A = this chain, B = another copy of it.
Amino acid sequence: MKLTISQIARIVDARIVGEEDEVIHDIASFPQAKPGELTFASEPRFLKTIDQSQAGAIIVPTDFDHKVLNQFQGALLKCKNPRVSFFKVVSSIYPKKQITPFVSPDASIGKNVTIGKEVIIHPQVYIGDDVIIGDRVQLFPHVFIGDEVSIGDGSIVKPNVTIMEKSRIGKQVLIHSGTVIGSDGFGFAQQDDVHEKLEHTGYVQIDDHVEIGACNTIDRGTLGKTHIQQGVKTDNLVHIAHNVRVGKNTLLVAQVGIAGSASIGDNVILAGRAGVTGHIHVGDHTIVGPNAGVVSSVPSNQIVSGFPHMPHKKWLKIAAFIPRLLDFRKKILSLEQRVKKIETTRKKSENK
């Protein structure tokens, strides 16, 4: 969709510097933006080079001083948070395809299923018995919804997602493709060498406004629940074991793994491929570095890295020191010889 500068300014509540009737027909990243395209600049490295930009318009911070510009031909849109504002415009230029709600006759729907208003249920969806589907829910092809599952208003389940029995999905939840919710946890009882299956009768609860990435695995509780709380976002290939709690607004980056019964606080960040041991607690607002392994509970407001985890600043120093270990090996061996020499000379002189 095309928008004029002034239409865009209204969407993001911006002050215009330049031609308000110019037409924007597309969006682009800062280095790629061409005439007729909108971009944004919030980092200094971009703000410094606006004069070299060919962009049709650029969203900049309120306090950007446009008088420093000499050559820039496009319009500036000044507003509070350029990045957030830019993506608001993206949603206007690329409005989501409007689909008239429908329930495909090629979906397989069980007994005693309650379906809300304006839902979209694609062909090749499977829904079990005693399921509740909220208003405006979208289920894509090859989604499996087990018995006694509930899905809240406005939630979207992408293709090839599996939601096993008894899972409770909140409102405005988005689940990406390939993800499995409610698989059995890894719990067995050893009898001699054989591992006997324990029945996992718990469930998964996902609260409102959660986004789950592609190919995640979230196990049901062994007893009770695995709980993903409001506003959590997970990246791809994340593993969450049985009875884990992930607190509000926590971010789990790609390939993270959380072992059974661990409890992650609110507003935590687990960076890419971080791992958390079972039965421990990671405090609110704590950040765990990439590749780190958290092996015991961590208080709130910490930054930790490494395996086993340690304070991030310490880890940075140690990570910088490790490549120099061989130099220090040399130093030690040299010191040994020198000290030995001193000791020998001393003995000789004593023996004289």
Contacts and interface: CB of A to CB of B under 8 A. Distances in A.
A329 to B, nearest CB: 6
A141 B141 contact: no
Stoichiometry, as copies per complex, reads 3
A239 B254 contact: yes
A255 B329 CA distance: 34
Nearest to A141: B126
A213 B260 CA distance: 14
Interface in A226-280: 231, 233, 235-237, 239, 241, 248-249, 251, 253-255, 257, 259, 266-267, 272-273, 275, 277
B176 A180 contact: yes
A17 interface: no
A255 B254 contact: no
A86 to B, nearest CB: 9
Contact of A162 (B159, B224, B272): B159
A184 B234 CA distance: 11
Given A32-B223, A215-B217, A255-B275, 20 more contacts: A87-B199, A126-B142, A144-B177, A160-B178, A162-B177, A177-B183, A180-B214, A183-B214, A186-B233, A193-B231, A195-B249, A219-B236, A235-B239, A257-B272, A259-B272, A291-B307, A317-B326, A318-B322, A321-B326, A342-B346
26 contacts: A32-B224, A94-B199, A106-B108, A108-B122, A123-B126, A124-B142, A142-B144, A144-B160, A159-B162, A160-B162, A178-B178, A178-B217, A186-B253, A193-B249, A193-B267, A194-B249, A197-B211, A215-B237, A219-B236, A257-B272, A277-B290, A307-B319, A308-B319, A321-B329, A338-B339, A342-B343
Interface of A: 27-29, 32, 81, 83-84, 87, 90-91, 94, 97, 106, 108, 122-124, 126, 140-142, 144, 147, 158-162, 164, 174, 176-180, 183-184, 186, 188-189, 191, 193-199, 201, 209, 211, 213-215, 217, 219, 223-224, 231, 233, 235-237, 239, 241, 248-249, 251, 253-255, 257, 259, 266-267, 272-273, 275, 277, 290-291, 293, 306-308, 310, 314, 317-319, 321-323, 325-326, 328-329, 331-332, 335-336, 338-339, 342-343, 345-346
